[in-house]
Amino acid sequence: MCGIVGVVSHSPVNQLLYDALLLLQHRGQDAAGIATDQSNTFSMYKANGLVRDVFRTRNMRSLQGNSGIGHCRYPTAGSSSEEEAQPFYVNAPFGITLAHNGNLTNQAELKEEMFRKDRRHINTNSDSEVLLNVLAHELQEAAFGHTLDVDAVFKAVAMVHRRARGAYAVVAQIAGHGLLAFRDPYGIRPLCLGISESEGGTEYLVASESVALEGLGFRFVRDIAPGEAIFIDTEGKLHERQCADNPSLNPCVFEYVYLARPDSVIDGASVYATRLRMGEYLADKIRKEIPLEQIDVVMPIPDSSRPAAIQLALKLGVEYREGFIKNRYIGRTFIMPGQGMRKKSVRQKLNAIPSEFKDKNVLLVDDSIVRGTTSREIVQMAREAGARKVFFASAAPPVVFPNVYGIDMPTRDELIAYGRTVDEVCKEITADHLVYQDLDALKRSISDVNPALQSFEASCFDGVYITGDVTPAYLDQLETARHNPKAAPAEDAVRTQLNLNPPVAAE
């Protein structure tokens, strides 16, 4: 999962892109980058770290131009090395920069094919660099013998859809031509379009989430449809086209469970409203499993489970209290490398208020249980704070399959629910009782809010990989690569360091 943004304006966009990335920071805290275009010259700066730490005044000054793209990264494929921060740049044809959210499932085949057939060298292990080169190749083919017009741009995107598999929401700039954005034919990862009418004329902003548009004074226009591309040419004219053969909308359920900000609206469903519904459905299930008189208090694990917990408490008629306080200056725990580090950081991140737990039977609500590290630690903290009984409820079903579409849930053995019954997971996290949401109820939580949404990408819960190309062998391969990260990048040894960051002036 990553955050992407693209903007075309009539005035410099560096600050706008920076502000958009701050609004998308929750989507990736590993690296950040911006590429702007001024009269066919790209300026780019990217590095590992949070947006506020990556960009200094001197970098911002070097990012000149009235259009640009930005990215905040959360590593799912490849490594978290600095060369894999985005955007990526390729100099032919035209000069293209690209930022991508998602994950390609046929990256290895494409990389090989690019090298053998298309004579293109991919210098990192990033699937986004592969995607950029596929787009570049297809733009070259589409424009062969004539100029690159709008039809040719859309034709190239149609070819990308035919070659690339997996999840991708993309923003790209083609030097001298314009800004391109597109979404994969299954509409797995989100992307939306906003507009702002100013004295200078119309400005466009595309972003992973609507929160980025609203926060910057853009009016939400619509979500980009699955398979659709939009292109804003150098005259500032917007072109839109469906480029996929059989598009269908299957948004990722995990966006609603956890990834997106609650104030975003994705594919016509308010994330906040879906989380309230998750709480209601979960309450129905809890009522069947735990005698209500045994629950003294409902507590969220801050922050993402809060809307579900509030609604759940209301529906059960049980008191809602905040027993854990989050240190908001600490990053998300799953970003931390290694299990030991993760465990430690749970305690750094959350602290219990003993008076809220003393001699009480508490029902803790979390949005999901992935590795189980957080849940186990939190149950223990609740007991140490004096709780008598600790019940645990997850607003999402058991996570039992790896996610191959851009969420970091790569190996089955890292998932606490894999190969375990609910009772066994309950024992593992040392709770007195554990209740998981049913998948059907989770899906209904979203389609209740937008009835047009009927099909979802929910593979981490049901193992159904909508792109149809994910085989057990592919999953095994991913797991081997994960357990053995050094084995994969064979070309590491001969890789040369490329530094595409522009030279910076002294501050």
Binding positions for Mg(2+):
304, 366-367
Task: Rank residues 32 and 460 by Cβ distance to ligand AMP and give the closer one.
Answer: 460
Closest CA to 22 of 263, 301, 212: 212
Task: Output the smallest distance, CB 81 to ligand AMP, in A.
Answer: 20
Decide: is 375 part of the binding site for ligand AMP (CB under 6 A).
yes
Other C-beta atoms lying within 10 Å of the C-beta of residue 296: 17
Task: Output the smallest distance, CB 303 to ligand AMP, in A.
Answer: 9
Interface stretch with ligand AMP, choices 244-252, 314-322, 402-410, 434-442 (CB under 6 A):
402-410
Buried b (16+ CB within 10 A) or exposed e, 302-329: bebbbbbbbbbbebbebebbebbeeeee
**Binding residue (CB under 6 A) for ligand AMP from 232, 407, 449, 475:** 407
Counting every residue written for the chain, the total comes to 507
Q: Which residues are annotated as a binding site?
A: 304, 366-367
Cα distances (angstroms) measured from residue 194 to each of 182, 191, 265, 382, 506: 14, 10, 13, 44, 35
Cα distances (angstroms) measured from residue 15 to each of 291, 292, 501: 54, 52, 18
Task: Output the smallest distance, CB 479 to ligand AMP, in A.
Answer: 15
Decide: is 374 part of the binding site for ligand AMP (CB under 6 A).
yes
Task: Rank residues 98 and 346 by Cβ distance to ligand AMP and give the closer one.
Answer: 346
DSSP string of 307-354, one letter each residue = HHHHHHHHHHT-EE---EEE-TTS--GGGSSSHHHHHHHHHHHEEE-H
Decide: is 372 part of the binding site for ligand AMP (CB under 6 A).
yes
Decide: is 258 part of the binding site for ligand AMP (CB under 6 A).
yes
Interface stretch with ligand AMP, choices 117-125, 191-199, 373-381, 487-495 (CB under 6 A):
373-381
Decide: is 393 part of the binding site for ligand AMP (CB under 6 A).
no
Task: Rank residues 1 and 318 by Cβ distance to ligand AMP and give the closer one.
Answer: 1
Per-residue mark of binding to ligand AMP, 311-350 (x: CB under 6 A): -----------------------x----------------
Task: Output the smallest distance, CB 262 to ligand AMP, in A.
Answer: 13
Buried b (16+ CB within 10 A) or exposed e, 76-108: bbbbebebbbbbbbbeebbbbbbbbbbbbbbbb
Task: Output the smallest distance, CB 422 to ligand AMP, in A.
Answer: 15
Decide: is 369 part of the binding site for ligand AMP (CB under 6 A).
yes
Closest CA to 477 of 398, 404, 415, 370: 404
Decide: is 26 part of the binding site for ligand AMP (CB under 6 A).
no
- Judged on CB neighbours under 10 Å (0-12, 13-18, 19+), 499 is exposed
2 as an active site residue: the answer is yes
**Binding residue (CB under 6 A) for ligand AMP from 67, 126, 304, 311:** 304
Tokens of 134: 């596929």
**Binding residue (CB under 6 A) for ligand AMP from 17, 96, 159, 370:** 370
Question: Distance between CA atoms of 387 and 373, rounded to whole angstroms?
Answer: 19
The residues that touch ligand AMP, with contacts defined as CB under 6 A, are: 258, 304, 334, 366-375, 407-409
Q: List the catalytic residues.
A: 2
